[in-house]
A and B are shown apart, each in its own frame.
Chain A
Amino acid sequence: LRRVREAVVSTQSTGITRNCQDELDKQLDPHVSGVLLGLINENKRILEVTHCFPLMNSDTDESMEINREHMLEMERSLRSVNIDYQQVGFYQSTYLNTHCDRNFLDSVFDYLEEMNEAIAIIYDPLKTKLGHLSLRAFKLSGRAFQLYKAEKDFTAEMLRDNAITFENLFQEIPVVVKNSSLTNVLLCELDSVQDSTSYFTLPTSSYLEKSMQLLLGGLDEINQDLLKISKFQKAVYKKQTEMMKYIQDRKEENDRMVREGLKPLPEEDVNELFKDPAPVGRLESLLSANRISSHCEMIEEHVKSGIGKLYLADSFMS
């Protein structure tokens, strides 16, 4: 199994950010997605993303169809101009790391099924606007991939046996951004003209508030899941007691029959009489846990710098 060590994204030609930003400006829907093209350097175990093109939001069958045609068309055109046309994954914009849902998982899985090395690049426009370019590459971890291939929803046992947690459900692949020399020069120039006072501005609270709200939403989901589990537990317990009672009754009845010289009732399969309650699917809660953890990370990251500044200011004032 070949493993991709890192993904090198060359900004010059791909322009993921540009694509996303354009799309986001154009439409209200914060979700933008597209196909990544590139090549795999097997020796260095590097996935190079060299080009990309956007797709429509594929909610309906119709737009799916259009997307598919569009992809074929693009592939043909790219081949004719001798550009890498190998699909290596997809990119997607996110709003405060809310991307991690069932759809995302399905897409990642689909790409991985086609190609072992496929990745998904998540672009956060909000963060980028705040001054931190945010490009993260993900793929399903190997175990999760195998598991998901076998079963579309996870039970608790499956998670346990494969040791899958919310943390290792997805595997993050380091991204190296490779700029053209000209861009590097520009960046250096920009660096020198940067206003040094802007360093002291505190992180905005609206961003924090939104993150907190999302966190709260995630917690609600977890709570609901907990309720489901406890309901399931109750059902199991109930079934268990009923089964015991049934066995007990049957035993007594049989004893009595034997005493009276009658033929005892046949031992029936108790498991058939009492059905197991349906176990609670774990996938959704796995995903929401994943989201929660990314929200936490986000908040932490966002606040970290601020705290430092506050301490700094505090010591100056006193």
Chain B
Amino acid sequence: PVPWVPLGKQWYQRRVRAGDSSDESSSSESEPEMPVSRAPVRQYTSILEESDDEKRVVRSSKDKRFSEINQTIKAIRNAKNIKDISKVREGYDSLCTIYTKSSNVIAKNGTPKAFIRCVADLETFVLTLWEDREQKSKLNKINSKALSALKQNVRKFNKGFEAEIEEYRKNPDSYEEVIDEEESADEDEAEKTRDAAKATKKTRTSSSRAFDDDDDDNDDDDDDDDDDMRGPGMGDDESDDSDEMWDDSEDSSSSDDEMPAIGYTAAYFLKKKDDDKKDKPERKKKAPKQQARTSTSKEEEEGWTTVSGVEKVAKEKPLFEEGTEITVDVVNQKIAELSSIRGRRGANRKKNIETFELLTETCQKENLGTPVVAKCLYFTCLAIFDYNPSMSACMQVDIWVQLLVTLDKLLTLLEGHREVHFVEGLPDEEENLENEEKPLTVAGSILVIMERTDDEFTKLLRNLDPHGTEYVQRLSDEAKLCLLILRVKAELATRKASNAEMCRIYLRQIEHLYYKVDYAAAGVNEEGKVDSREKMDELCKFIYRIESSDHSGDLDRIRTRAMLCHIYHHALHNRWSEARDLMLMSHLQHGISHADIPTKILYNRTTVQLGLCAFRNGYIQHAHTTLNDIQSSQKSKELLAQGLSTQRMSERNPEQEKIEKQRQIPFHMHINLELLEYSYLTCAMLLEVPHMAAHQFEQRRKLSRTFHQQLRNADKNPLIGPPDSMREHLVASAKAMMKADWRTCADTLLAHKIWNLMPNAEEVKGMLRQKIKEESLRTYMFTYSACYDSISPEVLSRMFDLSNKQIHALISKMILNDELKASWDKPTDLLILHRAESSKLQRLAKQTADKLTYVMDNTEKMLGQGTTFTGRGNAATGLTWPNNIFGAGNGTQLMGFPMGVPGQEQRYGSAQNAGYIARNRGNYNNQGGYNRQPYSRMVY
């Protein structure tokens, strides 16, 4: 026996080559009945010893060329069938280039007959088409052009093969015959064993017959297999594998891209070897397996059914030898054996699941005891998880259903038998499956399985179209899943699981609960429903209460997540103060930057929900600050893991995109981004418009860049129609608010139907209307107070539909905050406005003074830097100037502007003059109220 060393590509190549060489020696077309059941392993061992590298090179290049030719021929034929002349021409051109490229190969092996046949057929095809006027006129321009070009080319090229073509014309049967033979051989293959099939195929390639038909079939099969992955039984997968193998060998034996396929085969044979070792005499089992493998083409459907019949027989007995007494040990051994091939590539995953199920059945039948059955079920689950080769791919629906059923069975079993325990990390030897005296233990953890199932569920939803019916169907599974989680929780509780484990299962429960709106709490009273708030409190408090004694990061993470979920839940149900308090008391925001990404996403979600909650409750300022971060980043989609926004600047690479996609949150948990943006912009509008009005003349600090961006975008629009989109609504209402036209503002803003998505839409709308009135009043006062000497609050009250009291409160607040220069005149009940605004000139002078300070600061800073340069005493290039330019003497002058003392004095002189005049003018006009000395600060 040969030691089973790592089987990489090299081994694989050798095998292929070896197959060739051995077949070559025995031109084996005539012996399709090659030993059916010769163990492949043995064959390879003999082959491994041979090594003729040179030959291999030749052969592989030949194979490569020929398969290229065949592919092109196939393409031509297809194009010919649909009369796509330009395609035909393309194919023909590439055929010619390939032919010339592979001329040395052809010189050795002779022109492939398929090639001759194709060329000859093409010629006839072109000529007939050319003659057929009617047909020709039907062709479109491109095609007719291609036809004439093709005709010329064909004539030129075919001159080289006149003899062969002549021969073919004379005796087309000899060429056809070959193909027929191939086809019949193909059919025969169904009955032949796999090895034999390989032999024939290989021979065919080596003898360079026209094997294009055969190739065709193979390809078709491949497609079929890929299409109905679910349909086929175990055999199909196998045949798929073998097909891939063959394709591979025919294409190129040295391309790196084919690695996976090679891996397949390696593992495949590995497994086979296991089988061999285990039950050498077991012909019964092997034979049907191989038969199943051979089924390749559609016509063999019937053959397949008979095979499956055999398989059923095989299914019942393959696990154990006939007559073997099925004991716990045997089952254990079997499980170990099957699980040893877990995760290997090429292991038939589908079959594994079935085997485990079968095993479970057998165990149940044989009454081997609950622990064994539980173990079998457990491994079935694992096999199901293994079904997907990659972590990112989602489960197929039927597998998913199967998983739920299996899990359900497992839990039912456990609920019935409290004495059975799953112990995580238990070595296999210490398992106790039989001994009733000691506690029955099984290695494994139902918690892990549960968590995995939950993850798979998320993955499944993520990959479904959220608008399809299937999504809803799957979503209905959530109830089942939640129930399962509950049961697992109960199980864990009875089995006295550790705190950490309990926390994990609690967290799972929380995560299925936190994002759901509790309509019972929101007013729609349904009887018999537990208030989700209490439930949430209970669940979270359980986790909070667990003292993380060992300060494990895992428990911290669970607590963080639970807390975030709790806050989210509060926020979702409009419990602003609770949510805010919890958020602030938890100090989550300090540690969150160290958290893992899913937790960060949850944090973002929670923050956003908190912001929305603040908004609904009318805390505009809070809502604005909370939402500002997420909205100003322009990456809200990524931050909330709700899809990928289109990036203009840099294309993310596919790898990153894949990772991001894996983080996505299922659709039903999404926060409506439109609503989020609209809420944010509304907040911004309510804050920014009065702010803008108050600071008309100053270079104002912008509260919200996004809002200003919207305004600017709207200004660019040449034609302003009635608002349609969300942003247009917003801009239109902002414009109305700037004119203090609160009615239009509120009507436009609230007209958008997106508000209906808010749980308590009417309340929110009412709140917004009130806010708009107030802010419009403020805007009005800022903008137009200069036009009044005095104003009656009653007028304002009428204008803004606010009560006298509210007006009084608002305006008093403005006066207090020094925003409005006015006072209440009680006897007349009027608001007396004071003129205190500085004139434009004064403002300009002030600005000039500010700018000058700035210039001076900058210059001084630079001078300081200049001296540090000289301090280093460096005479290197480029360094001489700062020193000299800023140094004493003529330095200031050399700056190129009057920054020296005289210049400044001069300018200050004028600025002061200006100020003086302005002030005096103010006095002249005698409008009073000049209590401020705006230039008193201008001392330099």
Interface stretch among A9-17, A19-27, A223-231? A223-231
Please determine whether A208 and B841 come into contact, CB atoms closer than 8 angstroms.
yes
In the bound complex, how far is the Cα of B642 from the Cα of A161, in angstroms? 64
* Closest A residue, CB atoms, query B903: A293
What distance in Å separates the Cβ of A51 from its nearest Cβ neighbour in chain B? 37
Knowing A160-B890, A209-B841, A227-B858 are in contact, say whether A222-B913 is a contact too (CB < 8 A): no
Is A292 among interface residues, defined by CB-CB distance under 8 A? yes
Interface stretch among B18-26, B132-140, B876-884? B876-884
* Closest A residue, CB atoms, query B872: A240
Interface stretch among B458-466, B509-517, B529-537, B859-867? B859-867
Residues 153-195 of A, flagged 1 when their CB comes within 8 A of B and 0 if not, give: 0011101100101110000000000000000000000000000
* Closest B residue, CB atoms, query A311: B920
Knowing A209-B841, A240-B879 are in contact, say whether A299-B913 is a contact too (CB < 8 A): yes
In the bound complex, how far is the Cα of B305 from the Cα of A218, in angstroms? 92
What distance in Å separates the Cβ of A291 from its nearest Cβ neighbour in chain B? 10
* Closest B residue, CB atoms, query A232: B882
Is B146 among interface residues, defined by CB-CB distance under 8 A? no
Is B848 among interface residues, defined by CB-CB distance under 8 A? yes
Please determine whether A299 and B858 come into contact, CB atoms closer than 8 angstroms.
no
Collect the chain A residues with CB atoms within 8 Å of residue B878's CB.
236, 239, 276-277, 279
Please determine whether B897 and A212 come into contact, CB atoms closer than 8 angstroms.
no
What distance in Å separates the Cβ of B868 from its nearest Cβ neighbour in chain A? 8
Is B637 among interface residues, defined by CB-CB distance under 8 A? no
Please determine whether A205 and B841 come into contact, CB atoms closer than 8 angstroms.
yes
Please determine whether A303 and B910 come into contact, CB atoms closer than 8 angstroms.
yes
Is A296 among interface residues, defined by CB-CB distance under 8 A? yes
Please determine whether A307 and B913 come into contact, CB atoms closer than 8 angstroms.
yes
User: 8 Å CB contacts to B: which residues of A135-167?
Assistant: 155-157, 159-160, 163, 165-167
Please determine whether B865 and A233 come into contact, CB atoms closer than 8 angstroms.
yes
Please determine whether B844 and A156 come into contact, CB atoms closer than 8 angstroms.
no
Is A250 among interface residues, defined by CB-CB distance under 8 A? no
Knowing A240-B876, A303-B910 are in contact, say whether A212-B844 is a contact too (CB < 8 A): yes
Is A103 among interface residues, defined by CB-CB distance under 8 A? no
Would you call the interface of chain A mostly helix, strand, loop, or mixed?
helix
Please determine whether A159 and B896 come into contact, CB atoms closer than 8 angstroms.
yes
Is B907 among interface residues, defined by CB-CB distance under 8 A? yes
Is A104 among interface residues, defined by CB-CB distance under 8 A? no
Residues 808-841 of B, flagged 1 when their CB comes within 8 A of A and 0 if not, give: 0000000000000000000000000000000111
Is B284 among interface residues, defined by CB-CB distance under 8 A? no
Please determine whether B914 and A282 come into contact, CB atoms closer than 8 angstroms.
no
Residues 395-436 of B, flagged 1 when their CB comes within 8 A of A and 0 if not, give: 000000000000000000000000000000000000000000
In the bound complex, how far is the Cα of B878 from the Cα of A233, in angstroms? 10
On chain B, the number of residues with a Cβ less than 8 Å from chain A's Cβ atoms is 47
Is A122 among interface residues, defined by CB-CB distance under 8 A? no
What distance in Å separates the Cβ of B920 from its nearest Cβ neighbour in chain A? 5
Collect the chain B residues with CB atoms within 8 Å of residue A233's CB.
862, 865-866, 869, 882
Please determine whether B855 and A208 come into contact, CB atoms closer than 8 angstroms.
no
* Closest B residue, CB atoms, query A235: B878
Collect the chain A residues with CB atoms within 8 Å of residue B890's CB.
160, 163
Collect the chain B residues with CB atoms within 8 Å of residue A223's CB.
851, 854-855, 858
Please determine whether B848 and A212 come into contact, CB atoms closer than 8 angstroms.
yes
Please determine whether B916 and A307 come into contact, CB atoms closer than 8 angstroms.
yes
Is B658 among interface residues, defined by CB-CB distance under 8 A? no
Please determine whether A222 and B855 come into contact, CB atoms closer than 8 angstroms.
yes
Collect the chain B residues with CB atoms within 8 Å of residue A276's CB.
877-878
Knowing A208-B914, A310-B917 are in contact, say whether A243-B862 is a contact too (CB < 8 A): no
Please determine whether B877 and A296 come into contact, CB atoms closer than 8 angstroms.
no
Knowing A157-B881, A226-B855, A230-B861 are in contact, say whether A286-B914 is a contact too (CB < 8 A): no
Residues 246-258 of B, flagged 1 when their CB comes within 8 A of A and 0 if not, give: 0000000000000
Collect the chain A residues with CB atoms within 8 Å of residue B844's CB.
209, 212-213, 216
Is B51 among interface residues, defined by CB-CB distance under 8 A? no
Is A93 among interface residues, defined by CB-CB distance under 8 A? no
Please determine whether B876 and A300 come into contact, CB atoms closer than 8 angstroms.
no
Please determine whether B855 and A289 come into contact, CB atoms closer than 8 angstroms.
no
Please determine whether B881 and A156 come into contact, CB atoms closer than 8 angstroms.
yes
Please determine whether B910 and A306 come into contact, CB atoms closer than 8 angstroms.
no
Is A285 among interface residues, defined by CB-CB distance under 8 A? yes
In the bound complex, how far is the Cα of B845 from the Cα of A310, in angstroms? 19
Please determine whether A219 and B848 come into contact, CB atoms closer than 8 angstroms.
yes
In the bound complex, how far is the Cα of B881 from the Cα of A237, in angstroms? 12
Collect the chain A residues with CB atoms within 8 Å of residue B916's CB.
307, 310
Please determine whether A299 and B879 come into contact, CB atoms closer than 8 angstroms.
no
In the bound complex, how far is the Cα of B872 from the Cα of A300, in angstroms? 44
* Closest B residue, CB atoms, query A276: B878
Please determine whether B851 and A306 come into contact, CB atoms closer than 8 angstroms.
no
Is B906 among interface residues, defined by CB-CB distance under 8 A? yes
Collect the chain A residues with CB atoms within 8 Å of residue B840's CB.
209
Knowing A216-B847, A237-B869 are in contact, say whether A306-B862 is a contact too (CB < 8 A): no
What distance in Å separates the Cβ of A309 from its nearest Cβ neighbour in chain B? 10
* Closest A residue, CB atoms, query B861: A230
Our pick among A156, A163, A215, A310 for the contact of B848 (Cβ within 8 Å) is A215
Is B852 among interface residues, defined by CB-CB distance under 8 A? yes
Is B298 among interface residues, defined by CB-CB distance under 8 A? no
In the bound complex, how far is the Cα of B845 from the Cα of A306, in angstroms? 17
Please determine whether B876 and A296 come into contact, CB atoms closer than 8 angstroms.
no
Our pick among B845, B855, B909 for the contact of A219 (Cβ within 8 Å) is B855
Knowing A306-B917, A310-B917 are in contact, say whether A240-B894 is a contact too (CB < 8 A): no
Our pick among B839, B854, B906 for the contact of A300 (Cβ within 8 Å) is B906
* Closest B residue, CB atoms, query A233: B865
* Closest A residue, CB atoms, query B909: A300
* Closest B residue, CB atoms, query A163: B890
Is B874 among interface residues, defined by CB-CB distance under 8 A? yes
In the bound complex, how far is the Cα of B917 from the Cα of A308, in angstroms? 11
* Closest A residue, CB atoms, query B851: A219
Q: In the complex, given contacts A156-B881, A307-B917, what are 15 additional A-B residue pairs having Cβ atoms less than 8 angstroms apart?
A: A156-B885, A160-B890, A202-B917, A205-B918, A208-B841, A212-B841, A222-B855, A225-B897, A288-B897, A289-B896, A292-B907, A299-B910, A303-B910, A304-B913, A310-B920
- A–B Cβ pairs within 8 angstroms, 22 of them: A156-B881, A156-B885, A159-B896, A160-B884, A163-B893, A165-B893, A209-B840, A212-B914, A215-B907, A223-B858, A229-B862, A233-B862, A236-B878, A240-B874, A240-B879, A285-B895, A292-B897, A299-B914, A303-B917, A306-B917, A307-B916, A307-B917
